[in-house]
Amino acid sequence: MTDNFIQVEINGQPRQIAANLTVEALLKQIELSTPAVAVEVNLELIPREKHPSTLVQNGDQLEIVSLVGGG
Amino acid sequence: MVTQPTSIDSSSLDDSSSFQVGPFSLSSRLILGTGKYESFEVMQQSHQAAETDCVTIAVRREKLHDSDGRNILDFIDTNRYILLPNTAGCYDAETAVRCARMGREILRDLDNPGAEWVKLEVLGDSRTLLPDPLETLRACEKLVEEEFSVLCYTNDDPIMAMRLKKIGATSVMPAGSPIGSGLGVINHNNLSIILEMLKSEDRSFPVIVDAGVGTASDAAIAMELGADGVLLNTAVAGSANPVQMARAMMHGIKAGRLAFLAGRIPKSKYAAASSPEVGVIASRVKD
């Protein structure tokens, strides 16, 4: 790991991402099937309005979820 | 010359009563799932054929490398349908609460009124998919505290149903039988007791039969017993012709509801002749 990268976990998978990314910026980098997602960082929901001000930190565990068919 | 029938009060031929569930007044008593369809197109047609105005949806980890590119939301008109996000697949209260919060967040972004409510489902075991009553109760309490309208999936236990209502569930949703089993309403007696107990002080408290429906008559039976609505998915999605079955469910629910309102005859062990017993031309020794 260099100074420019941090190690995080996204949806259970380890991933190296650029340091100093906000949640908003991270979502733009990731290939999402839909913009309709919700994001949790370390089990806490990050509401959409806080995506631009929330910095992803080294070691963070992220969950990115979307809607799928269900009963 | 035939005497014309006196005019029928047409309002009695349709169920005009509104189906109020928490913040929503639904025009259809059928809530349909969005899972297990062979294609999004068939799902969309089934929703249309069912004339439902509310469909359930699940929250899952976003597949980060999906080449398909098609999203379910492209096949659900969120201006027409109220989405009901579920917590399916959760086995403890904490996870179910997190799932509910994330569902609400997405629906708020979509500007869908379904952000207000959640179908709470906390399972106890993966083979039966029966609910874990203790975790369900804990999760329900927490979500009510967070101002969700909680539509709570539960087993057909009247005491549990009472507990859920008492802690503030918006609707109690007993399973007719295990999820996806197609066994229909197994315990008519328990469902009747649940309906009686939950509605004793407030007739309009919504009880929705959720899970187990196999075919239209199962849905009709739930409604005849006095349920306010039916939530189902597999019975339609898994049918050989889902669109046709969706229509059948719509009719089954309407028929069951009307029969409930009309009031069935009491069951009797012996026959009661429909034609007069006097004036029969055959002379028969009475036994």
B35 touches chain A (CB under 8 A): yes
Q: What CATH number does residue A60 fall under? A: 3.10.20.30
Task: Report residue B235 CA to chain centroid gap.
Answer: 12
- Separation in Å, CA of B226 to nearest CA in chain A: 22
User: pLDDT tens-digit profile of B234-252?
Assistant: 999 999 999 999 999 999 9
Asked whether A70 and B33 are in contact (CB, 8 A), the reply is yes
Nearest residue to A11 via CA among A40, A53, A47: A40
A64 touches chain B (CB under 8 A): yes
Residue B74 in 3-state DSSP? helix
Which sequence positions of B are flagged as catalytic?
A: 119
Is the residue at A31 inside a domain?
Answer: yes
pLDDT for residue B282 is more than 90: no
- The type of residue at B110 is L
- Are B59 and A38 within 8 A, CB to CB? yes
Asked whether B250 and B32 are in contact (CB, 8 A), the reply is no
Whether ipTM tops 0.90, in short, is: yes
Nearest to B234 among A37, A63, A71 (CB): A71
Q: What percent of chain B clears pLDDT 70, i.e. is strictly above it?
A: 97
DSSP B230-269: EEESHHHHTSSSHHHHHHHHHHHHHHHHHHHHH-PPPP-S
Is the residue at A71 inside a domain?
Answer: no
Residue B196 in 3-state DSSP? helix
Q: Report the residue of A33, A44, A49 to disrupt the B interface, i.e. the one with the largest count of B CBs within 10 Å.
A: A33
- For strands B149-154 and B208-210, give the pairing: unpaired
- A67 CB neighbour count, 10 Å cutoff: 26
Nearest residue to B151 via CA among B105, B94, B207, B75: B207
Helices B158-166, B188-199: axis angle to 10 degrees equals 30
Q: Which helix (H) or strand (E) holds B191?
A: helix B188-199
Tell me the chain A residues in contact with residue B68 when contact means C-beta distances shorter than 8 Å: 33
- Are A36 and B71 within 8 A, CB to CB? yes
Is the residue at A17 inside a domain?
Answer: yes
pLDDT for residue B68 is more than 90: no
Domain count, chain A: 1
Residue that wins the pLDDT comparison between B263 and B1: B263
Domains and CATH numbers, chain B: 20-262 (3.20.20.70)
A53 touches chain B (CB under 8 A): no
B176 touches chain A (CB under 8 A): no
Closest-CA residue of A relative to B37 is A69
What span, in angstroms and rounded, lies between the C-alpha atoms of B87 and A16? 30
pLDDT-based confidence at B17, cuts 50/70/90?
A: confident
- For strands A13-18 and A5-10, give the pairing: antiparallel
pLDDT at res. B15: 81
- For strands A44-46 and A13-18, give the pairing: unpaired
pLDDT at res. B287: 64
Look up the domain containing A10 and give its range: 5-66
pLDDT at res. A33: 84
User: pLDDT tens-digit profile of B146-195?
Assistant: 999 999 999 999 999 999 999 999 999 999 999 999 999 999 999 999 99
Nearest to B33 among A12, A32, A71 (CB): A71
Which tokens belong to B185?
């309403």
pLDDT for residue A2 is more than 70: no
- Are A71 and B35 within 8 A, CB to CB? yes
Q: Count each helix (H run) and each strand (E run) in chain B, helices first.
A: 8, 10
- Are A69 and B231 within 8 A, CB to CB? no
H helix runs in B66-185, sequence order:
93-109, 133-145, 158-166
